[in-house]
Amino acid sequence: MANYKAQAINLKSYNLGESDKIMVMYSREHGLIRCVAKGVKKSSSSLGGRMQLIVANNLLLAKGRNLDIVCQAEVIESFSSIRNDMTKLIYSFYCAELINNFGLENDTNSKIIYDLSFEALKNISIFSSLEEILWTVIRFKLRLMEAVGYAIELNQCVRCNDIEHNYSSYHFFCPESGGVICGKCEEKANKTLEIDKRHISIFKDAQIYDFPEDNSNFDKTLLYSCFNILKEYVSAKSDKKLKTPEMIETLCC
């Protein structure tokens, strides 16, 4: 039986039998992986803590007939501060759900997506204010969507490519098309969201910087509005219905 190593973040788990779990992880080397962690529900298991959700591990896995088996695990980062704060937990769950939905097995971009995910979870665990957490999640969503081939268009109308307009004249975002749209195209679009130059500025900054260049952008209402615009976009591109946004509205607003 061949063994292999991987660095992976635990995203989701399902109970299997008496004390085993099926783990869904995103690895730096192989993208999305599903494997069995044996005996993790027993208090004597040395894998128990390491197989908790939102923990990054160095793994040694054994190739199995259907699912691979976790042989050894060593914690790289447990993002421990996330577990002491409800808001941080819910936004981390949201990130985990996005990685699980958009991640692929043997993904060619796995290294980029793993690093993005690790950075986002690390920042959520370090940051203390809601504004900083929202900024991190917005930045993560934009860069994740770019990595999976769904980058948003902010410089020209995504429908008619009318590049004569200045970006400040765009007042609508079309989640289905994935970008800003001009007034003419807005009439034909199914669903649009209102957007202004402050949103566009945040999206552009978040694609580049860890923190906004201009601190006046650190407004909770504006950041939350940006988060919601991207939430609609991500939902439009996702095959499965996302479950965590509802929880964000119930517990974090």
Partner 1 sequence: MQYTKPLARLIEEFQKLPGIGPKSAQRMAFQILKMPSAEVQKFCDAILEAKEKIKYCRTCFNMSSEDPCEICTDTRRDKHMICVISETKDLIALERTREYKGKYHVLQGLISPLDGITPNDLRIKELLERLDKENPEEVILALNPSVEGEATSLYLSRLIKPLGIKVTRIAFGLPAGADLEYADEVTLARALEGRREIL
Q: 3-class DSSP state for residue 167?
A: helix
Residues in the interface with partner 1 (CB under 8 A) total: 37
Contacts of 238 (CB under 8 A, 6+ apart): 101, 102
Residue 48 or 178: which CB sits closer to partner 1?
Answer: 48
Stretch that binds partner 1, among 30-38, 91-99, 183-191, 220-228 (CB under 8 A): 91-99
Supply φ then ψ for residue 123, to 5 degrees: -65, -40
* Residue 88 near residue 133, CB atoms below 8 Å: yes
Smallest separation (angstroms) from partner 1 to the CB of 33: 17
Residue 54 or 185: which CB sits closer to partner 1?
Answer: 54
**In this chain, which of 43, 66, 215, 221 binds partner 1, going by CB under 8 A?**
43
Supply φ then ψ for residue 48, to 5 degrees: -45, -60
Residue 75 or 104: which CB sits closer to partner 1?
Answer: 75
Smallest separation (angstroms) from partner 1 to the CB of 85: 7
Task: Classify residue 86 by burial, with Cβ atoms within 10 Å: 0-12, 13-18, 19+.
Answer: exposed
6-25 residues near partner 1, rule: CB under 8 A:
11-12, 17-18
- The C-alpha atoms of residue 159 and residue 58 are separated, in whole angstroms, by 44
167-170: list long-range contacts, CB under 8 Å, 24+ apart. Answer: 167/197, 167/200, 168/197, 168/200, 170/195, 170/200
**In this chain, which of 29, 34, 39, 48 binds partner 1, going by CB under 8 A?**
48
Q: Contact between 50 and partner 1 (CB under 8 A)?
A: yes
Q: Contact between 244 and partner 1 (CB under 8 A)?
A: yes
Compute the radius of gyration of the chain from its Cα atoms: 20
Smallest separation (angstroms) from partner 1 to the CB of 79: 10
* Binding stretches for partner 1 (CB under 8 A): 11-12, 17-18, 43-44, 46-50, 52-55, 73-75, 78, 80, 83-86, 89-90, 93-94, 96-97, 100, 243-244, 246-247, 250-251
